[in-house]
Amino acid sequence: MKISQKGYKQFLSYKLKRYGVGYLFILPWAIGFCSLIAFPLGWSLFMSFNKVVVTQGGFSYDFIGLGNYRDAFLKDNVFPVQLIEYFQEMLIMIPVIVIFSLLVSLLLNQNFPGRFLFRAVFFLPVIFATGQVLTELFAQNAGKIPFIDQYNLEPLIAKYVGPGLAEPVMAVLGKTVIILWYSGVQILIYIAGYQTISKSVYEAVRIDGASPWDSFWKITLPAMVPFISLNTLYTIVDLFTFPMNPVLAHVKSNMFKPDTGYGYSSALAWVYFAFIFVLLAIVMRLFSSSSKRKGG
């Protein structure tokens, strides 16, 4: 059935009135995304397939296809090792931060005097621990826990977890302070999630004789699965953009080398992004599957 021109105009007018305000609100974001994010990303992807040389007249591009990506794994002796080691370290630190923030948020959600002050104490590092502050603190060895070297824990850890995992475990223990600093946002998200659980549910199970331990496993934890998923995704992005990330430092160092340049560093950045994207996709898949099983 054909629509007349008048009817089509009325349809467009209806759509504009219904969705126009929403499109108007997202217009600044769309402009900013296209100009500040989408274009640089596309240009970086283009440079990753080229040998980029800085000349007097600007940039010179020599298309080499997947050459930069092959060099990242076949010729670069630093990047693959740093990438694997950092991913091992983060795969340990991410669940530690998520679980630690969950336990702390359970305590901070209880009714006790001065609860607001304790919540503020756990969130303050998020405000103060910027990239430059963290860099300066670790340059002064203020971000490490003294007992690790004092009690010589490295041989003990290597004995029980194996030499392959000993190094990432030691790296996580050496960043214990970072676990405290990088848990503030997650704690607030968990506390907000607890508010979505009706108190009448706890009262009902308490009348039925359920203990607090049973309430946690049967009510609190299942209700917090979406928030655990959100915090896991947030922690992944937050840690993989860590200011003292050795992989990002290697990418930056290759940017200004005459034998590598912008093209090679762009390829390294895209490989790093691909690994993070796969990790995020796996996490989202796992949590979506658990949500479907819960719904079933």
Can you state the angle between helices 261-295 and 67-74, rounded to 10 degrees? Answer: 80
Q: What is the per-residue pLDDT for 125?
A: 67
What is the percentage of the chain residues whose pLDDT exceeds 90? 6
Q: Are 268 and 251 in contact (CB under 8 A)?
A: yes
How far apart, in whole angstroms, are the C-alpha atoms of residue 191 and residue 31? 34
CATH pick for 75-295 out of 1.10.3720.10, 2.40.50.140, 3.30.160.150, 3.90.120.10: 1.10.3720.10
Output the pTM of the full model.
Answer: 0.75
Residue 191 has pLDDT above 80, yes or no: yes
Q: What is the pLDDT of residues 263-274, one digit of tens each?
A: 889 999 999 999
Residue 296 has pLDDT above 50, yes or no: no
Q: What is the per-residue pLDDT for 277?
A: 92
**With bands split at pLDDT 50, 70 and 90, how would you rate the model's confidence at 175?**
low
Q: CA of 159: how far to CAs of 149, 155, 175, in Å? A: 16, 6, 21
Arithmetic mean of pLDDT, 106-135: 72
What is the percentage of the chain residues whose pLDDT exceeds 70? 76
Q: What is the pLDDT of residues 18-61, one digit of tens each?
A: 777 778 888 888 888 888 888 888 888 999 898 888 777 777 88
Residue 9 has pLDDT above 90, yes or no: no
Q: Are 93 and 172 in contact (CB under 8 A)?
A: yes
- Every domain of the chain and the residues it spans: 1-40, 75-295
CA 168 to chain centre: 18
Residue 1 has pLDDT above 50, yes or no: no
Q: CA of 87: how far to CAs of 245, 246, 279, 285, in Å? A: 11, 11, 10, 19
Q: Which residue has the tokens 């240009």?
A: 43
Q: Are 25 and 17 in contact (CB under 8 A)?
A: no
Q: Tell which residue, 136, 222, 241, has the closest CA to residue 182.
A: 241
Q: Out of 5-19, 199-213, 219-233, 275-289, pick the least confident.
A: 5-19
